[in-house]
Amino acid sequence: MKLNSLVLTVFTTLAFATTLAAQQPSKVQVVRVAPYDKAVPGQIMQLMVAGLEDTGPMMPATDFELTVSQDGISQPAKIRTVTKMLTASAPHGDGQPTNAPTTGMRSFQSVNFVVPPGLHPGGAELLLAYRGEPANAVTLTVVEKPLRPMVGNLSVVTIGPPSAPLLPPKAQGRDLGWRLERGLTARLFVNPTTDPDDPNSAVLVHFQQGDQSFDTKARVVNQAARVENRNRRVGFFPARDILEVDVPAGLATGPVEVSIRLRANGQEGDAATLMATIVDATRSAEAPAANAPRLLLVTPRRVSAGLGLLLSVDYQRTLDPDPTQTVAVIEQGNARYLVTPERSSANFERSQGPDVPVLFFVRTTREITGPARIRIFNQLRGEQTGMSEPVPIEIVAEMLAPELIAVRESSESDLAPLRQMYELQSRAGRPFPAFDPRSKYVTIQVKGIDYNPKYVLITFAQGERVTLAPGAFSSFTGEQIIVRLPQEIKPGSVKLTIRNRDGDRLSTPASKTFEVCCTH
């Protein structure tokens, strides 16, 4: 069995009728079916759709139509959710190749659909249309029973760079680091899943612990799309399906074997099996390490003193009863400094359930330089159950220079999320100063930059020099920054310089020249 990280994928289709449409290639491209191109009626499968990068962070499922054809008979397929995603490579399961392998980080719309009933084993054609515009057809092979599902490791909340390395739990073999709270509901990372409206389909979960065994069904729960206002920011939460399972209260704390199989079209497939740990927060003193928070992401691992780090913790429940009392601990030898996070997703994600990961923005201290260690510590829980294992970092005294990769005028694709936020806020009668449709914007691809605009210095030079104020920064997403182009800049060549800064300390500048094509 291959235990791979989950990758969402999508797909949709529609036959097109006119000769003109047939002659013109569509910008919408179905890249592949995922997690593999074999399925059974009743499964929720996914397609990766390219060509919609300029559509913003949220797309309604009603924008798509999907038709499945077999033996000359066509029928619509139900589309459940559409989610924007980044992926580094094609998902592969059980040795099944996907339709079109890719390399490098790419953006897709992930369209999740239900394989309709009535299909028999063999090939079926999938045809997708977006707002009436047809995409290319792809083939889905219908099989007799579901393939073994792909089981994913823990999710990570981060706005940091997609290239940042994760810190997987110290696991071996089939242990992906799952910690399941007995008697409570857990979220599982399984792909594909099954249609909750189909009585002949289900995700079956078996727990085996010594001589005790428990069987249960996981639930596919749909979470509606929503938009949240957060002062100057807007949070987008697309509709998605969540797989939940009730962890049996009769399990003992400690290791457990979990087997997950799919039932679809009345047929059961092979099981994916992994090891997990059963925990109990009410008896955390009996197994403090198993109940303590765990860092899944620390980035960057080498940072200038006074600049920031992003930390991601696996489960919010490991920081209860009050995640806002969590601090970062920076250690070096016998020296220990407690640092209050500047921001945390725990402040706005409390309604999302105890199994959601938590992101912290932490600024390093100048009191420690050189090799050090960082932990997360919830002071209300005490050191035994409230402190994570340390992660090594290096804090350097000098200001490290960012790596400037590319600079360009912002495209419609770059600005789509900001434009959508602006339109939503305008309809609600609220200001959104991060975007002005009358202004021009610049997209900067950069590594090694601080996450707070107050610690970033950007200058444009075109005859005279113009330094941006923090209010001109519109978007920080991973390794990409979008800023408003100053009114003083005219069409022609412009030199952009970017530095990290902390007070009067400045890093070595990183510069590139780019072209401004037209006036504001």
Q: What percent of the chain has pLDDT over 70?
A: 82
Q: Which of 268, 256, 171 is nearest to 206 (CA)?
A: 256
Position 295 scores a pLDDT of: 92
Position 167 scores a pLDDT of: 59
Position 96 scores a pLDDT of: 36
- Rounded-to-integer distance, Cα 62 and Cα 44, Å: 17
Position 520 scores a pLDDT of: 54
Name the strand (E) or helix (H) holding 417. Answer: helix 412-427
Position 83 scores a pLDDT of: 87
Quick: pLDDT tens for 469-478: 888 999 887 7
The pLDDT of residue 94 is above 80: no
Position 163 scores a pLDDT of: 53
Q: For residue 156, what pLDDT band results from cuts at 50, 70 and 90?
A: low
The pLDDT of residue 118 is above 50: yes
Indicate if the alpha-carbon torsion angle 444, 449, 454, 455 is positive or negative. Answer: negative
Residue bearing the bigger pLDDT, 345 or 61: 61
Sequence-ordered list of residues with C-beta below 8 angstroms from that of 414, at least 6 positions apart, any chain: 441, 443, 480, 482
For the residues 147-169, what does the mean pLDDT come to? 65
- Rounded-to-integer distance, Cα 397 and Cα 374, Å: 17
- Rounded-to-integer distance, Cα 271 and Cα 257, Å: 12
Position 427 scores a pLDDT of: 83
Quick: pLDDT tens for 5-33: 333 232 222 222 323 333 455 689 999 99
CA-to-CA separations, 41 to 67, 124, 222, in angstroms, rounded: 14, 11, 20
Q: For residue 1, what pLDDT band results from cuts at 50, 70 and 90?
A: very low
Domains of the chain from N-terminus onward: 19-144 (2.60.40.10), 175-290 (2.60.40.10), 297-396 (2.60.40.10), 403-516 (2.60.40.10)
The pLDDT of residue 360 is above 80: yes
For the residues 193-203, what does the mean pLDDT come to? 96
Position 311 scores a pLDDT of: 93
State phi, psi for 133 to the nearest 5 degrees: -90, 120
Position 53 scores a pLDDT of: 73
Position 372 scores a pLDDT of: 97
Average pLDDT of the chain?
84
The first and second tokens of residue 58, run together, are 């949220």
Is-contact 311 297, C-beta < 8 A? yes
Q: For residue 90, what pLDDT band results from cuts at 50, 70 and 90?
A: very low
The pLDDT of residue 510 is above 90: yes
Position 2 scores a pLDDT of: 39
Q: For residue 349, what pLDDT band results from cuts at 50, 70 and 90?
A: low
For the residues 285-292, what does the mean pLDDT come to? 86
The pLDDT of residue 392 is above 90: yes
Is-contact 49 135, C-beta < 8 A? yes
Quick: pLDDT tens for 408-464: 999 988 898 888 888 888 887 888 888 999 999 999 999 999 988 999 999 999 989
Side-chain half-sphere exposure of 476, counting CA atoms within 13 A: 19
Residue bearing the bigger pLDDT, 55 or 392: 392
Position 19 scores a pLDDT of: 30
- Rounded-to-integer distance, Cα 373 and Cα 366, Å: 14
The pLDDT of residue 161 is above 60: no
Residue bearing the bigger pLDDT, 168 or 228: 228
The pLDDT of residue 494 is above 90: yes
- Report pTM: 0.80
- Which DSSP symbol is given to 283? G
Indicate if the alpha-carbon torsion angle 162, 168, 174, 180 is positive or negative. Answer: negative
- Rounded-to-integer distance, Cα 10 and Cα 444, Å: 29
Position 425 scores a pLDDT of: 82
Q: Which of 11-20, 233-242, 293-302 has the lowest mean pLDDT?
A: 11-20
Q: Which of 68-77, 109-118, 159-168 has the lowest mean pLDDT?
A: 159-168
Q: Which of 171-180, 201-210, 320-329, 398-407 has the lowest mean pLDDT?
A: 171-180
Q: Which of 144, 151, 117, 127 is nearest to 38 (CA)?
A: 144
- Rounded-to-integer distance, Cα 318 and Cα 291, Å: 6
- Rounded-to-integer distance, Cα 21 and Cα 17, Å: 7
Residue bearing the bigger pLDDT, 31 or 84: 31
Residue bearing the bigger pLDDT, 384 or 373: 373
Is-contact 68 11, C-beta < 8 A? no
Q: Which residues pair with 480 in a beta bridge?
A: 445, 477
The pLDDT of residue 56 is above 70: no
